[in-house]
């Protein structure tokens, strides 16, 4: 299996002396095409640090982070930015939708930012796949929490990244909706051959995942 996202002996330290915190302690991680991976751990264990480093949003103190075999920290800030825009999709806790745009306009914006014409057919296919057909003209505050997260999933996939990083994507949902969102993430990873990495503290969700990493006090191990 070729890794889409790889962390190789990554350390992340904050502060120094008596304020030193080792947020990631020699972390090695791999996610492959078509793999749905969970990263679980308690509060303060290093999950957010892991995600931001995997996304190239902050630099590791040492070690290597590779996206599609390219080492992120050896690229210029501009290269990192455009690579991240093309290759990484984000799904955040309370869905990172633009409050003043309709569902359809969220997708038009994605194409605008990529200097492309709106791909209406592709958009409509995603709406159908995620059971959102009737919501195209709705604003985020008119959607349920589950619908918002389904739009966020569709929008992340619409840009066709190779990896999707999901930060507690079910945090605002009840159990039934959480399981639905996680099942959809699993299905999309498999069907579209994307690496989807989900950070969560909810261990009920991991039965839908292909592999599970646990992080405690910055130490990560594959279960």
Ligand X SMILES: Nc1ncnc2c1ncn2[C@@H]1O[C@H](COP(=O)(O)OP(=O)(O)OP(=O)(O)O)[C@@H](O)[C@H]1O
Find the shortest distance in angstroms from Cβ 174 to ligand X. 20
Interface with ligand X includes 43 (CB under 6 A)? yes
Could you tell me which of 13, 128, 119, 23 has the C-alpha nearest to residue 61?
Answer: 13
* Residue 36 CA: distances (Å) to CA of 44, 94, 142, 196: 23, 20, 30, 5
Q: Which is nearer to ligand X, 160 or 217 (CB)?
A: 217
Q: Which is nearer to ligand X, 168 or 188 (CB)?
A: 168
Number of residues that bind ligand X (CB under 6 A): 13
Interface with ligand X includes 48 (CB under 6 A)? yes
Residue numbers 11-40 binding ligand X by CB under 6 A: 14-15, 21, 23
Are 72 and 84 in contact, with CB atoms under 8 Å apart?
no
- E strands present in 33-117: 36-40, 62-67, 70-71, 88-91
The alpha carbon of 134 is separated from its chain's Cα centroid by a whole number of angstroms, namely 26
Interface with ligand X includes 45 (CB under 6 A)? yes
Contact string (CB under 6 A) for ligand X, positions 191-220, x = contact: ----------x-------------------
Residue 136 exposure: Cα atoms within 13 Å on the Cβ side: 11
Q: What six digits make up the tokens of 180?
A: 């639905």
Task: Say which residues have a Cβ less than 8 Å from residue 21's Cβ, sequence separation at least 6.
Answer: 13, 14, 15
Interface with ligand X includes 106 (CB under 6 A)? no
Interface with ligand X includes 41 (CB under 6 A)? yes
Residue numbers 135-174 binding ligand X by CB under 6 A: none
Contact region for ligand X (CB under 6 A) — 47-55, 65-73, 105-113, 129-137?
47-55
Report the interface residues with ligand X, using CB under 6 A.
14-15, 21, 23, 41, 43-49, 201
């Amino acid at each position: 299996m070729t890794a889409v996202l790889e962390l190789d002996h990554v350390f992340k330290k904050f502060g120094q002396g008596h304020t030193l915190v080792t947020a990631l302690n020699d972390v090695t991680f791999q996610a492959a095409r078509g793999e749905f991976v969970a990263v679980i751990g308690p509060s303060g264990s290093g999950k957010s640090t892991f995600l931001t480093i995997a996304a190239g949003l902050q630099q590791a103190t040492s070690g290597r982070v590779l996206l599609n075999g390219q080492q992120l920290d050896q690229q210029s800030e501009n290269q990192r930015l455009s690579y991240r825009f093309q290759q990484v999709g984000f799904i955040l806790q309370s869905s990172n939708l633009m409050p003043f745009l309709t569902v359809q306009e969220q997708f038009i914006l994605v194409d605008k930012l990529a200097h492309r014409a709106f791909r209406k057919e592709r958009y409509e296919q995603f709406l159908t796949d995620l059971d959102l057909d009737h919501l195209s003209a709705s604003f985020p505050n008119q959607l349920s929490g589950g619908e918002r997260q389904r739009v966020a999933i569709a929008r992340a996939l619409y840009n066709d990244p190779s990896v999707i990083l999901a930060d507690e994507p079910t945090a605002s949902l009840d159990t039934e909706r959480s399981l639905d969102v996680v099942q959809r993430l699993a299905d999309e990873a498999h069907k579209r051959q994307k690496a989807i990495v989900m950070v969560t503290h909810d261990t009920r969700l991991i039965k839908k995942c292909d592999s599970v990493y646990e992080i405690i006090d910055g130490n990560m191990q594959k279960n």
